[in-house]
Amino acid sequence: MLAGEPSGDALGQSLMIALSRLRPGISVSGVGGPAMREAGLQSLYPYEELSVMGIAEVTSRLPNLLRRLRQTTRAVLAGNYDALVTIDSPDFSLRVSRRIRQSGRSVKTIHYVAPTIWAWRPRRAVRIRQAVDHVLALFPFEPEHLEKAGISATFVGHPVTSRPPVVAECVAKLRHQFGLGGDRILVVLPGSRLSETSRMVPVFTEVAKLVSAEHDNLRVVVVAAREVAASIMATCHLWPEGTVLLDPRPFPPHEAEEQKQALFAGADLALAASGTVTLELAMAGTPMVVAYDVHWITRLIVSRLLLVDTVTLVNLIVGHNAIPEFLGNACRPGCIADELNSLLADWRQRQSQIAVLQQAMSQLGRGGEDPGLRAARVVLNQID
């Protein structure tokens, strides 16, 4: 099993737990983060080394990525495995899968999280088809796109929908723990990769200052992903006075996750870098604004290849742009702050967005079988 970023690590943990439940004694090895290690994985190397996004950003890390590609391939070929499950990080994962396929070994190659050929670079379908036996899709609209391209796929649902609702006592405990009192909360999520946070923190700190200046009873709470916590904590002097920086490192992963979910449930509004965290906010019913930028070279290339007019997952699920987003050249502090101020001032606008978030979660499978179990059954069906 191979995961290269926090969202994939969470998927891997859920899948590992479900596989152990359905097939006691099953053995899993590979590459993963703290969540998968908590489920029993011994990672071949630190999974953070694979956590990079953007064409220009990858270039500087290429020699090490190629070394890890060779190491991972050798490890798979050296073992007596029934399946290789790669989780997201398609540019790295699918290269490993393709090499395993080319080796002639009878190892099923399964990719978890459908590559977004419906959003950009549709020609990737050929390489995916050459590398993967089956795809586990998180979103209900994906199997149709994949199957048209000749790729076998199953919609298994998104694990965010299986989370239990946060009880009021947990929110109250978090407010007391961090001295938030009865203030309104703006939660800020600058990303989970260093390549993201180095670009987004300067923008988000300025946004936080502009919004805080307009609201006396507003507290900013910055959520630091474990993988970038050290760099985020080093920026404490840049944020408005009274800002709380939520550092997960002193806590076990499950406790840090509970704190984060309690924060989301108690927040009035969120500012988030685009990504899976927007679905976590949606599940908590937290209105949000999304902002994201990449290196200008990456931005130039991607803008010419993108087939959709939004990158926010909730917007993609419901089929219209209900969540405000500021991408690329539009990712400017003043514009973002204006949108946040508008939402903070308008209760009806926030309620309208919350209704869309609930619709998106229903379409993702909220209330159905646990997605980890559904994914595990598909994996076992592939190898039996």
Give tens-digit pLDDT for 205-235: 999 999 999 999 999 999 999 989 999 999 9
User: 306 forms bridges with which residues in the sheet?
Assistant: 120
What's the token pair of residue 363?
């379409």
Give the span between the Cα atoms of 207 and 212, in whole angstroms: 8
Give the span between the Cα atoms of 136 and 141, in whole angstroms: 12
Give the span between the Cα atoms of 118 and 132, in whole angstroms: 17
What's the token pair of residue 2?
């191979």
Percent pLDDT > 70 in the chain is 95
Cα separation of the two ends of the chain? 17
Confidence of residue 58 (pLDDT cuts 50, 70, 90): low
User: 134 forms bridges with which residues in the sheet?
Assistant: 110
Local structure of 38: helix, strand or coil: helix
What's the token pair of residue 15?
């899948």
- Residue range(s) of every CATH 3.40.50.2000 domain in the chain: 2-158+368-383, 168-364
Tell me which of 39-53, 65-79, 363-377 is least confident: 39-53
- HSE-up of 196 (CA within 13 Å, CB side)? 21
pLDDT at residue 107, as a whole number: 95
What's the token pair of residue 245?
């920086």
13-17 — which CB contacts under 8 Å span 24+ positions?
13/38, 13/39, 14/159, 14/162, 14/370, 14/371, 14/372, 14/375, 15/85, 15/87, 15/112, 15/372, 15/375, 15/376, 15/379, 16/40, 16/41, 17/372
Q: Say if strands 184-189 and 325-327 run parallel, antiparallel, or are unpaired.
A: unpaired
User: 288 forms bridges with which residues in the sheet?
Assistant: 270
43-47 — which CB contacts under 8 Å span 24+ positions?
44/71, 44/72, 44/75, 45/71, 47/3, 47/4, 47/5, 47/9
Answer for the pair 75, 44: CB distance below 8 angstroms, yes or no. Answer: yes
For 2-158+368-383, the fitting CATH number among 1.20.120.530, 3.40.50.2000, 3.40.190.10, 1.10.565.10 is: 3.40.50.2000
Percent pLDDT > 90 in the chain is 73
What's the token pair of residue 87?
């989780």
pLDDT at residue 318, as a whole number: 92
CA torsion angle for 26, 31, 36, 37 (degrees, to 10)?
A: 100
pLDDT at residue 345, as a whole number: 95
What would the pLDDT profile of 134-161 be if each residue is shown by its tens digit? Answer: 999 999 889 998 999 999 999 999 988 9
Single out the residue of 291, 309, 98, 81 nearest to residue 203, CA to CA.
291
Mean pLDDT of 316-327: 93
Give the span between the Cα atoms of 366 and 160, in whole angstroms: 8
pLDDT at residue 5, as a whole number: 86
Cα dihedral 53, 58, 64, 70 sign: positive
Domain 168-364 classified CATH 3.40.50.2000? Answer: yes
pTM: 0.76
